[in-house]
Structure 1
Amino acid sequence: MDDSTAAETGTRIHTAPRTDVSQNQGKFRIHLNFPGHAVPGHDDHGYGPLATVVESFMDPGTLIRMHQHRNEEIISWVPDGVMRHDDRLGNELVTDPEHVMVMNAGSGFWHAEETYEDDPPLRMLQIFVRPHSLDLEPGIQHEPIPDAAPNEWRHLFGPEGGDAPLSVRNEVDFYDCRLEAGATATLPSRPGWDTYLYVFDGAVTVGDEGAAIGYTESALVTGEGDVPVTATEESLVVAFCIDPDAPITRQGTIGR
């Protein structure tokens, strides 16, 4: 773990290696990334309303049977392949590179996930956000998303009432970006908020001093100022802008 500072802006960049927290259920495997672990001495595995970012793998022909979530917002981001969703409301949805799904579990939401035998192997992120209140109205959002433009951040979800295609019930904004090798983009930020960066594919440097963040590694960036992200190879990165002081609940089924 590294901690670098840009003195002229007061920005701090806390880097974290690939997580060693994982579960292997054969055809379904996960690695759990805890943004709070990037900050030395931080007493919470999450960071404000962002509880955890889970790298999930499903082999072709995998069924995760119907199960319930409560009191968490679960976002499914699929950059390649398909994730098939079924729930007790009768929804049969396919999440793929053109769609994002937000399950606002609230007081309780039952769903199943599946890949067919002729689907490609699936690697995706499942993001767990802590809602601001317990036992909210459950529901699901499944929306088309804007086409990705090279080297530009794409805003995919944010707090209710914002301009993102989908919403969560707390103060978190989510972006993705496909960076060409050598390209630079400014990390998304909001005044008074912090930003968590995760490298899904490739490798980047972050900040003026070039903190190196590799494949499945991450960084939590705190403080004010523009922070450059430069791809040292073709990369796919995601970023979360987080209000660290937002009211949160900690009774989610998984994220907590």
Structure 2
Amino acid sequence: MLTKIENTIKYGKQHGGFGIQILYPGLIRPELDDTGFSTIGRIDHARITPGTLIPMHPHRNDEIITYLRSGKVKHLDSEKHTDTISNRRLMVMNAGVNFYHEEKVLEEGGVLEGLQIFIRPETAGLVPQVQFYQLPETYSDNHWRKMAGKGDDYPLQIRSNTWLMDLRLEKDAEITLPEAPSENAVFLFYVFNGKISVNETMALVTGESVLVEMENPTFRATETTDIVLFITQTNAVHFDGGMYSGNLH
């Protein structure tokens, strides 16, 4: 089954130079009474002006992935980490029981555009930790690249049955979904930027996505497109009371 998620389902927020479009993927299944979908709690698509400071603030029981396609961010946190995040350097904050961080968008990187992704952990009260990973290349052309997930073959670890990949699909190139890392897998195919045709019957544009269950459709780029792929399980064990990843109902 293919379920399209249009931009109209998102919540927009703008404060000064800080703008985000928030996707609660569970809203497409109101019968489940959950704003998240299994372990995928919330996806923020952010565009932030250089010089913007996001001051020190808390997180609890969220697994948070920062994925940038433009801009640079100076990071500081309560675990005493400082680092610069960019389109080549990823970060996962496994917030656990209690965690604080701040982010400063650097002038040198220009306008920031990226995703802040809130994943649900298996259980509450885990030990907080922070991970960084330097991508060998900025883009992964026409093939799926593993970024964060559960298992040794993912460079950044998520503490639930959740997996993230990305790729840049060049114009007129086609691709199908990668092999599922587990049984009962569900795929959320997110168009970060560009245009995609799904089975030549469904069109997706920037910010839209499609939930794929029990199918393996063909995706064709009608223009060069950056894609982020989220994989979870319908029966994944998870804690849905996280500060940002939790169920709002």
User: What do residues 209-233 of structure 1 show as CA deviations (whole Å, max 9, x unaligned)?
Assistant: 531111111110001x432111011
Q: How many residues align?
A: 242
Q: What residue in structure 1 maps to residue 148 of structure 2? A: 157
Distance, in Å, in 1 between the alignment partners of 2:197 and 2:36 is 23
Q: What residue in structure 2 maps to residue 197 of structure 1? A: 189
Distance, in Å, in 2 between the alignment partners of 1:26 and 1:100 is 25
Residues 71, 106 of structure 2: 8 Å contact kept: no
Is 182-191 or 172-181 further displaced after alignment?
A: 182-191
CA deviation after TM superposition for structure 1 residue 82, in Å = 1.2
1:16 to 5, 30, 51: 5
Partner amino acid, structure 2, of 1:75: I
Q: What residue in structure 2 maps to residue 7 of structure 1? A: none
Identity %: 33
Distance, in Å, in 2 between the alignment partners of 1:135 and 1:107 is 4
Partner amino acid, structure 1, of 2:3: H
Match of 2:26, SS state, is helix
Matches for 1:173-252 after TM superposition, within 5 Å: 173-190=163-180, 191-206=183-198, 208-223=199-214, 225-252=215-242
Residues 194, 244 of structure 1: 8 Å contact kept: yes
Residues 39, 220 of structure 1: 8 Å contact kept: no
Q: What residue in structure 2 maps to residue 76 of structure 1? A: 66
CA deviation after TM superposition for structure 1 residue 15, in Å = 0.1
Q: Could you state the TM-score of these two structures normalised by the residue count of structure 2?
A: 0.92
Matches for 1:101-140 after TM superposition, within 5 Å: 101-140=91-130
Q: What residue in structure 1 maps to residue 33 of structure 2? A: 43
Q: Could you state the TM-score of these two structures normalised by the residue count of structure 1?
A: 0.90
Q: Which runs of 5+ in 1 are unaligned?
A: 1-11
Matches for 1:83-94 after TM superposition, within 5 Å: 83-94=73-84
The ranges of structure 1 where at least 4 consecutive aligned residues each deviate by more than 2 angstroms after the TM superposition are 37-43, 116-119, 145-149
C-alpha RMSD over aligned residues: 1.5
Partner amino acid, structure 1, of 2:96: G
User: What do residues 66-116 of structure 1 show as CA deviations (whole Å, max 9, x unaligned)?
Assistant: 111000100000112212211123211111121110000001111101113
Distance, in Å, in 1 between the alignment partners of 2:204 and 2:28 is 12
Residues 38, 219 of structure 1: 8 Å contact kept: no
Residues 51, 106 of structure 2: 8 Å contact kept: yes
Residues 118 and 144 of structure 1, relative CA distance in 2, 3 Å threshold: closer
Match of 1:67, SS state, is strand
Residues 228 and 39 of structure 1, relative CA distance in 2, 3 Å threshold: farther
